[in-house]
A and B are shown apart, each in its own frame.
Chain A
Amino acid sequence: MTDCTDVRPLLDRYLALELEPEDEARVRRHLQGCAACRHEVDLREPGLGLALRLPAEEPRDDGFVAGVLAGVHQRKLQSALARRRRVRLAMAAGLSAIAILAGAVGVRLVHHEAPVGVAAVPAVESQPPIEPAFVEVEGRDVRLYDLSARTDSSLKVALVVDPKMEL
């Protein structure tokens, strides 16, 4: 047990924050139980004196640990859901990429095969007449015009037009 006579000489350095941690802990322990030395600190640093009087213990809180663990479980669940969402997104992106690639390969195949067919038939005969076709898109009638001029390297061009629009 530290005596007042041991502590008093240390108070100046204690207040100047110059004590070694062990000495400081000794002074603090003494101040907790000694009203006379605490009064001395009060005289020099009233704010510090106030701090020394604050209750050292928080009231018991039995639900605290359970609350933290509930929060941990919630975060775990959230991160699992986020991970699953990321996997699904990655799969969807992969499938989309495969579909686009397959489409591109298909187009390229058609593109390469077309000249063979065209070469067999005279270009003028193979050209179909431009006729409007009626198709249904999302419940509304639209006219689909095939405006392709089928040459050796032609691409089909389709225009979707509002049926009410006069051409």
Chain B
Amino acid sequence: MRLLRLVVRERVSEERSDRELAGAARSGDEAAFAELVRRHQGGVRRCAARILSDAEEARDIAQLAFIRAWENLAKYDPTWSFSTWVYRIATNLAIDMLRARDSRDRTHVAHLRVVGESVGPSAPAELAEREVTRIFGELAKLLSPTQRAAFVLREVEGQSTAEVAQVLGCTEATVRNHVFQARAVLRRELSSRYPEYLPKGVGR
């Protein structure tokens, strides 16, 4: 009976919504906050990694984002979803980091094509995941920080335009604009740097 009660309690705690957990965390419940971190860390880390093109920096930024979230729980507006709020903190931190990076890096990357790890010509469908990540990381560096964030949130993370607008603190029209500009840059750079990876039929 006691075991059953424990199991039931465990199930109930598993089913607690983000908002309930955020409310408990707001009252100082660290276990509730840890559960929120566990739930959302994968997405936040992945998103930061795509924006920064650097896994180590992304991990630091993601951890800092959750720490900032804890510090600012009193300001958390429960009408927002917790994940959108944390994504917003992480994205802003990542954009700040990109802006702080030496502008020489961008210029350097703009004229450099890394060929050391290339797996050679193959159809896009056959590209290894690591190769896709590397190429995307290289090309993403040519986008502005906001274009990069909008593209990653919208096209990689699959968030809706409204959610991305909320995360970036801009209008939906601005988000679309950033995404279209980012797509244009990626199309152009993919054609000039990696024409072998384009599917047959794409204008080069």
Contacts and interface: CB of A to CB of B under 8 A. Distances in A.
Contact of A46 (B38, B71, B199): B199
A43 B70 contact: no
A160 interface: no
Interface string B168-192: 0000000010010011011100110
| Most chain A CB neighbours (cut-off 10 Å) among B151, B154, B158, B190 | B158
A61 B50 contact: no
B201 A43 contact: yes
Which of A21, A51, A72 has most B Cβ within 10 Å? A51
B160 A54 contact: no
A122 B162 CA distance: 92
B49 A65 contact: no
Given A58-B45, A64-B62, A51 B37 contact: no
Contact of A51 (B41, B49, B67, B136): B136
Interface string B41-77: 1100110011000000001001110110011000000
Contacts of A51: 136, 151, 155-156
Interface in B5-63: 30, 33-34, 37-38, 41-42, 45-46, 49-50, 59, 62-63
Interface of A: 17, 21, 24-25, 28, 35, 38-39, 42-43, 45-58, 61, 64-65, 67-69, 71-72, 75
Interface of B: 30, 33-34, 37-38, 41-42, 45-46, 49-50, 59, 62-64, 66-67, 70-71, 124-125, 127, 129, 132-133, 135-136, 139, 151, 154-156, 158, 160-162, 176, 179, 182-183, 185-187, 190-191, 198-199, 201-202
